[in-house]
Amino acid sequence: MSNLLELNHIHKSFGTKEIIKSLSLSLEAGEIYGLLGVNGAGKTTTLSMLAGLLKPNEGEVFVNGVDMIAESISARKHLGFLTGEMKLYDRLTAKEQLEFFGKLYGIPKKEIAQRIEELIDLFQIEEFKDQLCSTLSTGQKQRVAIARSVIHKPSVIVLDEPTTGLDIMSAEQITKFIHHQAKVEGRAVIFSTHNLSEVERLCDRIGIIHEGHLAFQGTLSEILDQTESKHLHEAFFTLVNNEAVTI
Ligand SMILES: Nc1ncnc2c1ncn2[C@@H]1O[C@H](COP(=O)(O)OP(=O)(O)OP(=O)(O)O)[C@@H](O)[C@H]1O
């Protein structure tokens, strides 16, 4: 099967600070990939590079076979990106927000209406669809933000800490969404999180960024085997505290 997403030997520095030294990963259709790492490890930096918001100093990014660096406008059409940095427009209602982004992506008017109905239904936005975004709760805002990021039906979905700050019900809704997108719709989903149980439950593969590299990349059972751990949190500490395991 061909890869929907490919990162090859990415390097990124800010000034003299080398954040990502060499990082490669790929995702197939239907795969869910969880990106872990301590605060400041470089998860947001990596996801921003693969979404075309930051340019790597070296390396390649392909989305659906399109070169993100050379043809970023066309590559971004295949990708939906959610990050805490991208705020909703406070003066639009939840529904207007979705309409606005539908138009930005050039979705025909008739299709926008239908797509918005689907997303309102999927994320249970109905109750607050006509409320200004400035008045929404954290969980409601996050649901609108994710709906907005996938309005154009991208084949690759990139979510930076999608469940951070959400209660257990809202977080569950988002994990169900991720599962559905990959396993029913056949999209590739990569997300960063600090919630290890979410990763254990949801991800086909896990990547742990440490000191600019992927200290581990593989399935849950592979990481447990390689670190001789019973749980992901034990494996995580083993990899991040002493790099006894090499891939
Ligand atoms: N624009 C920038 N200029 C300078 N340094 C930056 C910039 N963006 C990120 N960094 C640095 O790069 C490192 C990685 O940051 P990044 O936000 O990618 O980490 P993260 O793994 O997402 O962390 P967290 O779990 O805290 O969200 C940090 O040391 C951060 O200070």
Pick the range with the lowest mean pLDDT from 34-43, 81-90, 138-147, 212-221: 81-90
Instruction: Give per-residue pLDDT as tens, 199-233.
Output: 999 999 999 999 999 999 999 999 999 999 999 99
Cβ atoms 35, 46 nearer than 8 A: yes
CA of 203 to the centre of ligand 1 (A): 24
CA distance between the termini of the chain? 23
Q: Quick one: pLDDT at residue 110? A: 85
Nearest CA to ligand 1 atom 26: 39
Q: Cα(144)–Cα(133) distance, rounded to whole angstroms? A: 9
Specify which residues 156 forms β-bridges with: 79, 188
The helix (run of H) or strand (run of E) holding residue 143 is helix 138-149
Chain segment 116-126, per-residue pLDDT in tens: 999 999 899 99
CB-count exposure of residue 102 (10 Å: 0-12, 13-18, 19+): buried
To which residue do tokens 């006894």 refer? 244
The answer on pLDDT for 247 being more than 80 is: no
- For ligand 1, atom 17: residue with the closest CA: 44
Name the residue with tokens 């995702």. 27
Q: Give the pLDDT band (50/70/90) at residue 246.
A: very low
Pairing type for strands 32-36 and 58-63 reads unpaired
Element (H, E) at 3: strand 3-14
Q: Domain-by-domain residue ranges, the chain?
A: 3-87+155-241
Nearest to 31, CA basis, from 183, 213, 233? 183
Q: At what angle do helices 138-149 and 109-122 cross, to 10 degrees?
A: 140
Average per-residue pLDDT for the chain = 92
Q: Which of 10, 12, 21, 43 is the pocket-test mutation for ligand 1 (most atoms within 8 Å of CB)?
A: 43
Q: What is the CATH number of domain 3-87+155-241?
A: 3.40.50.300
d(CA 159, CA 240): 23
How far is Cα 216 from Cα 214, in angstroms, rounded to an integer?
5
Nearest atom in ligand 1 to the alpha carbon of residue 47 is: 18
Q: What share of the chain is helix, strand, coil (3-state, %, to 5)?
A: 40, 25, 35
Q: How far is the CA of 44 from the centre of ligand 1 (A)?
A: 7
Residues with CB under 6 A from ligand 1: 14, 19, 37, 39-45
Q: What is the pTM of this model?
A: 0.93
